Amino acid sequence: MSKATKRKHVVKEVLLEYVQPTENQRIVKVLGSPGNNLHEVETAEGEKFLASMPTKFRKNIWIKRGDFVIVDPIVEGEKVKAEISFIIYKDHQRLLEKEGLW
């Protein structure tokens, strides 16, 4: 698969799929990016930690301060405690609010 085709499929997945967080996943807010494909995030309870960005999103999807993402916890992590599994955009956020999951 070429880079352009891969990018097209990743972007389509992020923009068109509506994912609901499972019981293990959490919705967190991105506070910043210290670099090395890591993002500082904060939960609704105020807990701050680092989350890694998976390879399929790197150089294809951009995340900025204030965005919301769904993360999977990493049990063995000390500093990096989660991995980003989905990026939430405005339309997806509205759908989650309607369903009472926000």
Query: What is the Cα–Cα distance from 101 to 39, expressed in whole angstroms?
Result: 23
Chain centre distance of CA 42: 12
Task: Please provide the size of the chain in residues.
Answer: 102
12-54 pLDDT per residue, tens: 666 666 678 889 999 999 999 998 999 999 999 999 999 999 9
Which pTM was predicted? 0.83
Q: Does domain 3-98 have CATH number 3.40.190.10?
A: no
C-alpha 47/C-alpha 49 separation (Å) is 7
Domain boundaries, the chain: 3-98
CB 47 within 8 A of CB 31: no
Strand partners, 80: 50
Do residues 30 and 69 touch, judged by C-beta distance below 8 A? yes
